[in-house]
Amino acid sequence: MPELYSLEDWQRPVSQENPETFRDEARRDYARLIHSASFRRLQGKTQVFPGHESDFFRNRLTHSLEVAQIAKSIAIRLNSTSDHFKDAPINLDVVEFAGLAHDLGHPPFGHNGEEALDECMRDSGGFEGNAQTLRILSTLEKKQVEGDEASTHDGNGSDLRRGLNVTYRSLAAVLKYDRLIPIGSKERPEDKVASPMKGYYKSDEELVKQIKARVLGTAGVADFKTIECSIMDIADDIAYSTYDLEDIFKSGIHGPLDLLSFPEQIYEAVVETINKRIEKQYKDEATRVSVSDIRDVLYEVFSGVFAIGSDEDAIIRNRKIEPGRRKMYSSMAAKQLSSLYAGNGYHRTRFTSKLVQLFLDGVEVVPHEAFPQLHQAKLKIKTFVFVEVLKNITFESVIRSPMLQVVEYRGKDVIKKIFEVISSANGERLMPPDFREIYRQGDGLGKTRTICDFIAGMTDRYAVEFYSRLLGANGMTMHKPL
């Protein structure tokens, strides 16, 4: 059986010698990512709530930092507890790199921004956040080109950009979906015709083959996903299910009691989503969830809200007090405890810390028979259901609520209009000089992809500002740089 790591893992698309014997290749990748412009721009991209609403709420940068920390904790735990990694531990720097990089390709305005760009690119190779992450690391970041000159294209029009030129193992750690996104929408699977298809772009097809060949020694392996990538994927779900929930409590939009009293259709939507994921990821499990299961999970997570103190217990047990009044006191006690999740920072911190530890304890390893590089970190089914309930309750009750959908819909309109304007005759003149130069050297698909790259890299604020300078009521200026 192959080793977990080999020298091939640490090669780069453009070969480079490491002059620092004290710092290995994975740590160099980490440093390149931290200092990149794409990583910094995550601070201007929305996680759940728009950044201008409060400095407390998480953005894509702080979310990525939390994912990286959780992912590293999972790897440390598996290195300490799993026989699979006793003699060959998981590289913590690669895991942390994956957590920090996983949202680099996220466009402005959340999932609606992703949908908007995918609709614009539907017949030109599509758009998808994970595919864009790989493209940023391997092509777009301005660190390395192929050859001695600083030219981005050769005389034949071939793209010489190599992004951050990170190692093949680090690139593998962000390759979540081993599936080629076709150029035309007619070639997509039926269930992905009207929504972003997860995978990698046609332009990165050869790169993905190289990644597989370096990491596994062969490119002929389906369902390629490294152990570091699977850890990052779990960490992302854990962060969503806990810290997004904390932001919601802090906002005052919902408290724990609200999660137990939504309209029935919200729980039904959560049930449908979770059962689909169970069917896909836990085929050998007979588990299916129902609406009552959702409420049971929520009760178990928030059971502290229903803790009854001695004074309340005495009132509730006093049969001389009429039932309605006893119910009132019980409700008052639960409401007071529920409000602590929004108003008491110590209480929230204890709650999220307890949840994260609970979920970390639910991680196990599913070994791959042929390749230890493809061992998978996986949540035990009970833990998986807990994570999915909290994550999807947040999605259905807040992210899909009118208050956020109005904002995201407006963002979708902004992105599509910017794309339309730049795609029009001479519209490339509206892009900064570096993008304009790349645009001019590309073929038809390359030109369209360059427009997409430009818009996808925008922060939320910059996209609104750019739109306003083109089409809004803001005063015109020629001095503020693009």
Which of 62-66, 240-244, 314-318, 423-427 is least confident?
314-318
Beta bridge partners of residue 376, listed in sequence order: 366
Q: Which of 11-25, 214-228, 313-327, 445-459 has the lowest mean pLDDT?
A: 313-327
> Could you tell me the pLDDT band of residue 166, with boundaries at 50, 70 and 90?
very high
Least confident range from 176-180, 282-286, 361-365: namely 282-286
**pLDDT (0 to 100) of residue 274:** 94
Domains of the chain with bracketed CATH? 7-226+402-469 (1.10.3210.10)
pLDDT-based confidence at 74, cuts 50/70/90? very high
* pLDDT on residue 20: 83
pLDDT band at residue 477 using 50, 70 and 90 as cut-offs? low
Each residue's pLDDT tens digit, 253-308: 787 878 888 889 999 999 999 999 999 888 877 789 999 999 999 889 887 776 66
pLDDT at 480: 64
Question: Which residues face 180 on adjacent strands?
Answer: 200
* Band (330; pLDDT cuts 50, 70, 90): low
Residue 473 reports pLDDT greater than 60: no
Q: Looking at 151-160, 184-193, 194-203, which range is the least confident one?
A: 184-193
**Residue 478 pLDDT more than 60?**
no
Q: Give the separation between CA 415 and CA 109, rounded to whole angstroms.
A: 9
Q: What's the pLDDT band for 373 if we cut at 50, 70, 90?
A: very high
Give the distance from CA 101 to its chain's centroid: 9
Instruction: Decide if pLDDT at 390 tops 70.
Output: yes
State yes or no: pLDDT of 195 exceeds 60.
yes
DSSP 377: E
User: In which band, very low, low, confident or very high, does the pLDDT at 234 lie, cut at 50, 70 and 90?
Assistant: very high
* Residue 448 backbone dihedrals phi, psi, to 5 degrees: -65, -40
Question: Quick one: pLDDT at residue 377?
Answer: 97
Q: Give the number of other Cβ atoms within 10 Å of residue 312's Cβ.
A: 17
- Look at the block and give the residue holding tokens 């009429």: 322
**Averaged pLDDT score across all residues of the chain:** 88
What is d(CA 424, CA 468) in angstroms, rounded to the nearest whole number? 18
> Average pLDDT, stretch 441-449?
92
- Pure H helices in 302-343: 310-317, 323-343
Higher pLDDT, 339 or 51: 339
Q: Which residues of 184-196 are buried (b: 16+ CB within 10 A; e: fewer)?
A: ebeebeeebeeeb
Measured CA to CA in angstroms, residue 168 lies from 9, 26, 92, 209 at distances of 6, 10, 16, 11
The values of phi and psi at residue 119, to 5°, are: -65, -40
- Selection from 442, 12, 39, 443 nearest residue 207 by Cα: 12
What pLDDT score was predicted for residue 349? 85
Residues 6+ positions from 306 with CB-CB distance below 8 Å: 299, 334, 337
231, two tokens: 């850890």
Q: Which pLDDT score is estimated for 313?
A: 62
CA dihedral 334, 338, 343, 348 (to 10 degrees): 130
Give the other-Cβ count within 10 Å of 331's Cβ: 11
Question: What is the arithmetic mean of pLDDT over 95-119?
Answer: 94
In a 13 Å sphere around the CA of 221, the CA atoms on its Cβ side amount to 22
Position with higher pLDDT, 317 vs 299: 299
Nearest to 370 by CA among 223, 231, 208, 229: 223
Evaluate whether 97 touches 30 at the Cβ level (below 8 Å). yes
Average pLDDT over residues 363-377: 96
Instruction: Using the structure block, give the residue that is written with the tokens 């803001």.
Output: 474
Going by the DSSP 8-state scheme, the letter that residue 321 receives in this structure is S
- Give pLDDT, residue 42: 95
State the DSSP string of 99-145: HHHTTTT--TTHHHHHHHHHHHTTTTT---HHHHHHHIIIIISTT-B
pLDDT at 76 (0 to 100): 98
**Pure H helices in 344-458:** 345-360, 381-394, 402-423, 433-441, 444-456
Report percent pLDDT > 70 for the chain. 87
Tokens read off for 476: 């015109």
- Block residue for tokens 């990821």: 281
Q: Is 62 a residue whose pLDDT tops 90?
A: yes
Which pLDDT value is given to residue 272? 94
